[in-house]
Amino acid sequence: MNRKKIFDRERPPRLVVVVDEGVLRRPTGGREVMKRQLGNLLEESEKPHVSVQVVPYDSDHHPGLTNSFMLFTVPRRNPVLYVETRRSGTPTDDSDAVDDYSQLFSDLRGAALPLGASRQLIAQIQGEF
C-alpha cells in the first residue's frame, strides 16, 4: 500500500498495463477477492494517468505468452527492463533487450482491446464473480 501512494501525487507517473483475459478470470484468492480486485482495477483505470488494456481470449495473435515483464521509463535515465521468470526477476538497461521488449509491448497493445472495450470486458468479468 505504501508503494501505491506514488500514484496519489499531484503529478503521478504514467502507468500502462496490458493483461491477458485469463488473468482476470482466474479466481485467485477466491471469488469475492477477485470481484473486489476487478472493481479496484476498473476504478484505477478511470484515472487519466492509468491505461489498462486486455488481450482477449479470442485474439488471433498474442505475442506475450512467454513471460511477464515491466518497462520503466525514468526522466533523465535510460529505460529499464524487468523480466520475470518462474524462478527469478532480472532488471537490465541493456539497450538491445529494452528495444526488443519495447517492440513486444507495442505488439501487445496492438493485440489488446482498446481502453473502453477493455474496461467493458473487465466489468463483464467482474459481474460473473
pLDDT digits 0-9 by tens, 22-46: 999 999 999 999 999 999 999 999 9
Neighbours of 52 (CB within 10 A): 20
pTM score: 0.88
Q: Rg of the chain's alpha carbons, rounded to an integer?
A: 15
pLDDT digits 0-9 by tens, 49-99: 999 999 999 988 888 787 889 999 988 899 999 999 889 999 999 999 999
More confident residue, 54 or 11: 54
By CB atoms closer than 10 A (0-12, 13-18, 19+), residue 32 is exposed
